[in-house]
Amino acid sequence: MSVYDMPRLETFGAVAKHYNSIDPVISKRHTRENDVRPLGDRRRKYERIHKFSDNCYAYYDGDMGDPIQYSDHHYHGKDIPMEASKALAPIMWTLEDDGTQILRVRNGSGTGAHNGRYSFLERALPREFNFVVDNGKQFVILNGVRYFLPKSEFYTWSYRRDTSIKQKDDCKYLEFQRTPDDRDWKIKTNSFMYVPPRVLVDKERKKKFKPAMDSYYSWLLVMAPMFREHLEHFQYDYHDQASQDRYQAKHNLAKLKRDELFEYAKEQEWLEEVQAVWGYEPKPEHALIIMEDEEHPMRMHMAWNMLLDSVLFDEHESERKKFRAHYNRWINKVCGFNKTIEAKVIANTEEK
């Protein structure tokens, strides 16, 4: 069975029937008692279905929460409590006493990308549902309505490293229900829905620094062409020594600019004790000092990575607005003009 042929089961009864139809995988690592039952392709046994009771089944994708170890490098579920394992399942099917089916969908834990989880949800949810990633955010779509699926903070890697942290499930998931009288799934009554976090520009604060911001932009347009050979994009050729030399010179100069900025920050005591050169970026208050001082020695250093990643030398002058937009996004970030509106939780009050 192809990885893309995973059964997208529609009902709790279909899930139970499918579970009973699967022979457990028995191998040098897994016994029959482990009850490893792949949802689809048996070579992808980490994408499996687990039975908690006659009224509760879970899907696992081999990521955080799965108590089964699949290789020497897989420790996601090592020593994980059963309560946490159950909570972290990507998909949970529950049948209530009145016959109502509950479908719970959960994102990964932690702020990073969980690409395996996204692929799994896309292939494992019932056919009435769609799963999409849009602009770095994840959504479950039902009947044309997009429901934001937040990332959980429960049982992240930092939590697992520090066993002194007492953390409860934050219940960041979506729940859908289907009563015996319903033909279609609906968002679960009185469950939580989430408004995605947003990043907005603090225009009032930014306005105070507009003269300095415009002056810095004009200064870069004059100074950057002096380093064009080390900033513009070019095709690397493994068979051309001149191309390789140019790439090495570009890399060396970028490293020099980064190291000099880092050393300057140390001299100014701008650094935290654990700060590393690779991840260093001036704090907003320090970036403002550099931007506002037209004679500051670190003006080009601070903007170097932005210039490397820009289209400044790729576009015709008539399309300079693309570079201006790139500059604006960067200056908003580095100078702290962005403000994050945290995700909001709203209760769904739809009546049954």
More confident call, 212 vs 81: 212
Confidence of residue 136 (pLDDT cuts 50, 70, 90): confident
Encoded amino acid at 136, one letter:
G
Residue 190 has pLDDT above 70, yes or no: no
Confidence of residue 71 (pLDDT cuts 50, 70, 90): confident
pLDDT given at position 3: 55
Confidence of residue 157 (pLDDT cuts 50, 70, 90): low
Between 18-27, 100-109, 271-280, the lowest mean confidence (pLDDT) is in 271-280
Q: Comparing C-alpha atoms, which of 125, 92, 88 is closest to residue 6?
A: 125
Name the token pair of 213: 């911001």
pLDDT given at position 198: 80
The winner for highest mean pLDDT among 77-81, 276-280, 283-287, 319-323 is 283-287
Mean pLDDT of 128-142: 93
Query: Is the CB of residue 108 less than 8 Å from the CB of residue 152?
Result: yes
Distance separating alpha carbons of residues 113 and 115, to the nearest angstrom: 6
pLDDT given at position 259: 95
Mean pLDDT of 144-149: 90
The winner for highest mean pLDDT among 32-46, 79-93, 189-203, 207-221 is 207-221
Confidence of residue 79 (pLDDT cuts 50, 70, 90): low
pLDDT given at position 17: 97
Distance separating alpha carbons of residues 218 and 291, to the nearest angstrom: 12
Residue 348 has pLDDT above 60, yes or no: no
- Name, in order, each residue with C-beta under 8 angstroms of 51's C-beta and a sequence gap of 6 or more: 19, 35, 57
Name the token pair of 254: 């970028």
Residue 158 has pLDDT above 70, yes or no: no
Instruction: Report CA-CA distances (Å) from 147 to 163, 173, 186, 278.
Output: 33, 10, 11, 37
Percentage of the chain lying above the pLDDT 70 cut: 89
Mean pLDDT of 32-39: 90
pLDDT, tens digit, 9 for 90 and up, residues 219-243: 999 999 999 999 998 888 989 999 9
Please state the domain extents for the chain.
Answer: 3-196+343-347, 203-336
Residue 161 has pLDDT above 70, yes or no: no
Query: Is the CB of residue 67 less than 8 Å from the CB of residue 80?
Result: yes
Q: Considering the chain, what is the average pLDDT of its residues?
A: 88
pLDDT, tens digit, 9 for 90 and up, residues 4-15: 678 999 999 999
Distance separating alpha carbons of residues 288 and 213, to the nearest angstrom: 9
Residue 212 has pLDDT above 70, yes or no: yes
Confidence of residue 252 (pLDDT cuts 50, 70, 90): very high
pLDDT, tens digit, 9 for 90 and up, residues 298-343: 999 999 999 999 988 887 767 788 999 999 999 999 999 998 887 7
